[in-house]
Structure 1
């Protein structure tokens, strides 16, 4: 973990991670502003392809709980809007829902046995995103080129739309504009904007002129979009209203597999190969 200025602060490891040195595929901070316990504001959830999900108290570098998912590879996670539930998606095409207080599995969301209804995924799930304001709603996407809508009150997906091929954390919901952002790992039609209610395509931003195949797509600071991937090996910030590039880094030695921005300003952290880049809002690399 690094500070906002790019200084190294913490390394999180325990016997599990030292014994089985497998990749971390997703990280999410516990950011429940209504939780008055100070220590709870310093927690981080992480998925490991070794088959577990860990909750870290990062300031003490202690793992406070481990979810056993050894029957599959957990690939993506997200909290619901109230931070009471933790969703974990993986290689088995299913989403496990855990009560974050009791740490118990309470739901398993997946496709039914029906051959007539496509009410769940048929391949690996690489992205999951909870609706920012609707507690029970979340979306998923992955290798089967579909985005599924889920409601916690039903174990199968409520609807879906085809198109995006997701291979990383490349799915986001913009509640203010009622749209969905997707970033596909392919040569064309990478960054796309969809109507949240209907699932209809609003804008195919790089239909024929994509510079990178995307692993990461996120909405940032209410007016920007972060896109990162390989081919051009770049992480770029775009203005949401004009869809014009405003900054970023490109032509790195390796592909960019993960990236994120500061919640308060356009500082960016980028994971590329064995390197981590910290980019400030004046586009200087540290």
Structure 2
């Protein structure tokens, strides 16, 4: 084993993608970490190798030119990828063949966020009307609608939902980060938001769960990254962006933890960079150089060996996390 202080971020990017002029709205690593999917052009997804950035496939379609709001590789079937667009389209692709397997569409409100459960059976979308809709992943058929209840004003989702995720061991629980500085625990069985965590000021892809720890990233200059106990909702600890190295205040827009719990990466506006931390201790391990625009999205490899940053101008870069030489 190694100590957190032995980790570092390689200063030079392993690979980069030139400015596209459009915001990077979604990034995801494949389950084995070999590939990265990203969208830096509305309606288009690029599949590249995570080691060199070599483009393997570009997924285009004729139905929408709206931004892609989320990309997720299937957790078990490596050839499948699901994505959503702002105007409600849901696409399931076979990335090996470059073919669309299934398509569906949510009508009535913009689609803001999406996530897939750990078992590859269910996914959920978050809509601009404050509702969450649950689907069967195999056929893209809706199975449940979660809508705020008037009698539950203390735990009701208002308007925008910025990010959602399933509990990794219980697909009946969906966590949702809303505009009212709360993270709600939605229960698919009851259809209600049963509990909430108050405080996190999430304004992007800033919600994650590792085991029974909820991670929130807030767009503010303090208490930026907070860890919460899933069971009790109590705050466990916090990580703040290192001000000495960032040199500017940083308002976090995006945060992600590696699947193995080794590394965390978070980036945002102000400082316009991404910093990485060893997750269990919160030890700072390195950062990117500042970008020309705010960070809009961050993804971390499943094994914590690299992370990819996307910006509002369409910049993309991949940085490796390595052990310091003896």
Q: 1:131 aligns with which of 137, 156, 167?
A: 167
Aligned equivalent of 1:154: 190
* Superposition deviation, residue 205 in structure 1: 2.6
> Cα offset for 1:42?
1.2
Query: Of 197, 207, 215, which residue of structure 2 is paired with 1:171?
Result: 207
Q: Is the 8 A contact 2:206 2:256 kept in 1?
A: yes
Question: What are structure 2's unaligned runs of at least 5 residues?
Answer: 1-46
| Residues in 2 aligned to 1:142 and 1:56: alpha-carbon distance in whole angstroms | 29
SS of residue paired to 1:92: coil
RMSD: 2.1
User: In terms of mean alpha carbon deviation, does 274-283 or 103-112 score higher?
Assistant: 274-283
Runs of 4+ in 1 over 4 A off after TM superposition: 207-210
Aligned to 1:37: none
Aligned residue in 2 for 1:277: 317
Matched residue, 1:226: 265
Q: CA deviation at 1:231?
A: 1.1
- On the 8 A contact 2:147/2:191 being kept in 1, the answer is yes
Of 181, 185, 190, which residue of structure 1 is paired with 2:224?
Answer: 190
Structure 1 CA distance, aligned partners of 2:217 and 2:174? Answer: 17
Return the offset for 1:276. Answer: 1.4
Partner of 1:99: 136
Q: 1:249 offset after TM fit, Å? A: 0.4
Q: What TM-score, normalized by structure 2, do the two folds share?
A: 0.77
- Contact kept? 2:261, 2:304, Cα under 8 Å: no
Which one scores higher on RCO, CA 8 angstroms, separation ≥ 6?
Answer: 2
Quote the residue 2:181 is aligned against: 145
Distance in structure 1 (CA, Å) of the matches to 2:73 and 2:209: 17
CA deviations on 1:129-163 (whole Å, 9 max, x unpaired) are 11111232221102121101122211111111211
Q: Gaps spanning 5+ residues in structure 1: where?
A: 33-39
1:208-227 correspondence to structure 2 within 5 Å: 211-220=249-258, 221-227=260-266
Q: What is the aligned partner in structure 1 of residue 50 from structure 2?
A: 4
Q: Aligned to 2:75, which of 28, 31, 37?
A: 31
More strand by share: 2
Count of aligned residue pairs for this structure pair: 270
